[in-house]
């Protein structure tokens, strides 16, 4: 798709400790949740939603179930309670799409989940969905390329000039599928925290940091206070640019 929507990363988890860990990076744009997983953790879903809202997360997918009337009533109640951070998540079923249509008329964002082909994405857009969520991993499990489904939806939306519905790739199990989902046209990829953590990793980055540490130790070993390794200094000054860290060293050494 070519509507210049910036890429967004969501965390797909009910583990608030993991969200607390990664949200301060400034790289997380939202959270998708599953009430079943929340309940298994022994917590009330709405307590979790409130904690995420208090954390500053501006987009939280909150799943509703039941028939269309029940989904509409519950979605409206959740939106009234949590405000604009609430995105109501409904299944791609006749009942779910009817609920999507009614909720979207009330300007409530809706995430239509359980998308497995482009035809369903057409219906979800027609129902007013803010997001459609193709399940990449689950498609792969059934010998269908999930990434190809993402690409087909993106191509179709692009050809039809669809800008109001964004593609949110879900059921992501590895970093490769994060990258390829974006490459194939997804606006958003939601992933487990473990996959997000692995996005930082590359063997050459690790080797480069090792070389930086070796060079840094040579710079600081001759004179001045001990700062530890370059990596340790960066960790002690999170969010600072390299030039700011170096300035601190010069000030302390003078």
Provide the annotated active-site residues: 89
Contacts (Cβ under 8 Å, ≥6 apart) of 213:
229, 230, 231
- Sort residue 173 into left (φ over 0), alpha (ψ -120 to 50) or beta: alpha
Q: CA of 242: how far to CAs of 208, 232, 246, in Å? A: 15, 13, 6
Helix, coil or strand: residue 94: helix
Backbone angles phi, psi at 32, to 5 degrees: -110, 135
The Cα–Cα gap between 163 and 166 comes to 7
Quote the CA–CA distance of 158 and 186 in Å, as a whole number. 11
């Amino acid at each position: 798709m070519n509507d210049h929507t910036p890429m967004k990363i969501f965390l797909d988890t009910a583990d608030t400790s993991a969200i607390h860990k990664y949200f301060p990076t400034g790289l997380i744009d939202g959270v998708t949740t599953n009430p079943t997983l929340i309940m298994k953790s022994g917590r009330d879903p709405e307590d979790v939603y409130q904690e995420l809202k208090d954390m500053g997360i501006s987009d939280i997918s909150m799943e509703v179930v039941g028939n269309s009337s029940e989904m509409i009533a519950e979605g409206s109640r959740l939106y009234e309670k949590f405000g604009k951070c609430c995105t109501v998540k409904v299944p791609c079923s006749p009942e779910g799409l009817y609920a999507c249509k009614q909720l979207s008329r009330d300007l409530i964002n809706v995430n239509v989940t359980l998308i497995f082909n482009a035809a369903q994405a057409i219906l979800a857009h027609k129902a007013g969905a803010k997001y459609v969520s193709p399940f990449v991993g689950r498609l792969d499990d059934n010998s269908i390329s999930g990434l190809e489904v993402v690409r087909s939806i993106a191509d179709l939306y692009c050809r039809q000039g669809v800008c109001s519905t964004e593609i949110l790739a879900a059921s992501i199990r590895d970093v490769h599928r994060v990258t390829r989902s974006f490459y194939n046209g997804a606006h958003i990829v939601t992933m487990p925290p473990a996959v997000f953590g692995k996005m930082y990793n590359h063997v050459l980055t690790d080797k480069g940091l090792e070389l930086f540490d070796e060079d840094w130790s040579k710079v600081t070993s001759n004179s001045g206070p001990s700062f530890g390794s370059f990596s340790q200094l960066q960790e002690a000054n999170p969010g600072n640019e390299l030039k700011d860290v170096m300035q601190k060293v010069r000030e302390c050494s003078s």
